[in-house]
Chains A and B, each alone.
Chain A
């Protein structure tokens, strides 16, 4: 019922009471004992009703306010009756009857019927007593509607209140029933202290696999795995004894005999006059399955990680090792336990500070993958270290995975490869140079023979001069070849003027490949010196120049050599107008053993070595080529590398 309606109804009913009471007091034939009190009563009643008009509507839905109204009105009406004195006794009787009816009744309709019957009975009594038609009859008759209205008033109040409280009760009952039934956990209500099952919710029934009714008839201990009966018993005994809540992990038995693990919690619930135990349990089957799966995936991950023969470990932002693979343990001769929690640099570098070139430091700053090649002077090993960032869901870095690969052997092999390619190159060069030596050698022999047969001393002298010239030429060639073939140590680096090296390399190749004239265009700029191994740089240049000559075979060749300084690199260009490289080959030219020459003519290592050497110095090789028009290689060597020439290889 709406609050507004309730207020209006109550006010209307009260006005009706006031009017009737006024009539009874002032116009009834009965005598009023004390008119002043009567007036005061009427005034109080009217005044109270006027106050009610201004009271907020919400008050009318407050049960306490109702009680107050009932007490006030009952008191006032009783007072009014007392003051009207006449026939007070019968009035009291009727009034109390109404009160009883009203308070007993929970149904407004029924109350109205009963009050109607009562009013009729009263009318009948008046009639039978012969009071009707007498001089006081009007007052007596008027009592009938009074009874009726009063009944309606109290009845309405009572009914509203009971209805509301009932509604609330039903509402809260529904709410809790719903919670109870739909809970994700199994709930069993046990009576105190006999632990009889009083109620079971849907989830509990489902988990146990029994209809609710059957569960209700069981002993709670029988719901457990028979193997755990003892534990379950002691669990409950403890709970009943202490009266306190408890939790445990036990197994329940399903109807079909299958047992399943549950997280169990029990709590004593105290009501005013009763208490019971609430047993809540959660099925752990899914969680156990998940846990198993996590354990398995962890194990297989560890197996994979352990299977990697290179060292792999995870460290946090303070360089503390969190996880390691077997290779780390084997290489450091420490156990997993000894490794985890230690700082990376303590283990690997025997330092107290992070290594200055640690790629992890770089990853911490950039959140990017970083590489570094670090050589350990003590053990002579060279390691390539990579650090991979691990980000959380928000993209924050929380750890890095370090991958340490021992590249000592690889580097040694690479050095060997460079060296053997160089030897092969020397072989090719040597045969070319050998031809070149043959000319001055022929000159020496023929001139010596001529001198032997000559008598004129001055002619002999010119012949000897020729012989000396030829010998010097031979010497020059041999010296040049020797400087090229000198097998320089890997670490033997010096500041090189690339213009000079390029010029020397060209001479060397020109000695070896005597072709139809090739125009050589040199566009040399003054370039900064760069620190490198002379032999290796010569190897790069002679390889590329030789290739250029091969490409220009049978053509009017133009070899273009350029050098220039860019910001922090020296750029060397070696270009030809030869046959060019077919599009389909361009991606493969730097691959080892890729060659378009006939077997025996080329090793297929030339450009591969060029690439290896240049990248070793942190440089780059670019190639531009058009079939039929020529090829240009552009090499960029960085200048001013850090001391040992190692660099971040970010290919």
Chain B
């Protein structure tokens, strides 16, 4: 059974792309369209990794991160920010606030899988 990843992004096409690639790499993927939905998912399920956008309606990425770190059950959950905020300052802020990895949009499959594998301790895919 593959590891469970929760993908949070308000863009459907982004979620779709993520799911295709991650599923192909053997992960189980669940989707959430905004922060609130993501928190609902996490309250009910355990995930091995969270891939989260920052700028989203209702609750944004920062709030989701805050929730993750505040719960004992999820406080060690690896979190990857996947965002259009591409400036270095944004990235530093992400790490400062407790993200484990930071991927900027637009991204490629290899960038994504590199980060995911890094977070989940999987061996490097020889195809990189």
Contacts and interface: CB of A to CB of B under 8 A. Distances in A.
Interface of A: 434-436, 438-447, 449-450, 453, 466, 469-470, 514, 516-517
Contact of A445 (B16, B24, B55, B108): B108
A426 to B, nearest CB: 18
Contacts of B66: none
Contacts of A445: 17, 106-108
B13 interface: yes
Contacts of B86: 435, 438
B58 interface: yes
20 contacts: A434-B84, A435-B55, A438-B106, A439-B13, A441-B106, A442-B11, A442-B17, A442-B105, A443-B11, A444-B106, A445-B106, A446-B20, A447-B16, A447-B20, A449-B21, A450-B20, A450-B109, A453-B24, A466-B13, A517-B58
A516 to B, nearest CB: 6
Given A440-B11, A450-B20, 14 more contacts: A435-B86, A438-B84, A438-B104, A438-B106, A439-B105, A440-B13, A441-B105, A445-B17, A446-B107, A447-B13, A447-B16, A447-B20, A449-B108, A469-B13
What 9 A-B pairs have minimum CB-CB distances, sorted nearest first?
A446-B17, A443-B13, A435-B84, A438-B84, A438-B105, A441-B106, A442-B106, A439-B11, A449-B109
Interface string B83-127: 011100000000000000000111111001000000000000000
Nearest to A453: B24
Nearest to A469: B13
Contacts of A453: 24
B104 to A, nearest CB: 8
B55 A442 contact: no
Contacts of B109: 446, 449-450
A281 B16 CA distance: 115
B125 to A, nearest CB: 13
A436 B20 contact: no
A286 B35 CA distance: 94
Contacts of A440: 11, 13
Contacts of B60: 516
Interface of B: 11, 13-14, 16-18, 20-21, 24, 55, 57-58, 60, 84-86, 104-109, 112
Contacts of A441: 105-106
Nearest to A444: B106
A435 B13 contact: no
A466 B107 CA distance: 16
A481 to B, nearest CB: 15
From DSSP, what is the main secondary structure of chain A's interface residues? helix
A337 to B, nearest CB: 70
Given A436-B84, A438-B84, A470-B13, A446 B57 contact: no
A3 to B, nearest CB: 120
Contacts of B16: 443, 447, 466
B51 to A, nearest CB: 12
A144 B105 CA distance: 158
B58 A516 contact: yes
B107 A435 contact: no
B14 A439 contact: yes
A439 B18 CA distance: 12
Contacts of A442: 11, 13-14, 17, 105-107
Contacts of A514: 55
B114 to A, nearest CB: 14
Nearest to A473: B13
Contacts of B57: 516-517
Contacts of B84: 434-436, 438-439
Nearest to A514: B55
A15 B86 CA distance: 144
B18 A446 contact: yes
A450 B16 CA distance: 10
A262 B81 CA distance: 103
Contact of A450 (B11, B17, B106): B17
Nearest to A451: B20
A438 B54 CA distance: 13
A526 B24 CA distance: 54
A475 B81 CA distance: 26
A470 B58 CA distance: 24
A449 B127 CA distance: 14
A447 B105 contact: no
With a 10 A CB-CB cut-off, give which of A434, A444, A453, A514 has the most chain B CB atoms: A514
Contacts of B104: 438
A117 to B, nearest CB: 143
Nearest to B87: A431
B50 to A, nearest CB: 18
Contacts of B106: 438, 441-442, 444-445
Contacts of A439: 11, 13-14, 84, 105
A358 B75 CA distance: 77
The listed residue with most B CB atoms (<10 A of its CB), out of A442, A443, A466, is A442
A453 B112 CA distance: 16
Nearest to A445: B106
A448 B21 CA distance: 11
B27 to A, nearest CB: 15
A445 B109 CA distance: 8
A442 B107 CA distance: 6
* Best-surrounded residue of B20, B86, B108 (most CB of chain A within 10 A): B20
B55 A443 contact: no
A440 B84 CA distance: 11
Contact of A443 (B17, B58, B85): B17
A438 B20 CA distance: 19
Nearest to B82: A442
Contacts of B11: 439-440, 442-443
Nearest to A439: B11
Nearest to B112: A446
A93 B60 CA distance: 153
A516 B58 CA distance: 6
A353 to B, nearest CB: 64
Q: Which of B57, B58, B104 has the most CB of A within 10 A?
A: B57
A564 B21 CA distance: 52
Nearest to B20: A450
A73 to B, nearest CB: 138
A210 B118 CA distance: 122
A100 to B, nearest CB: 140
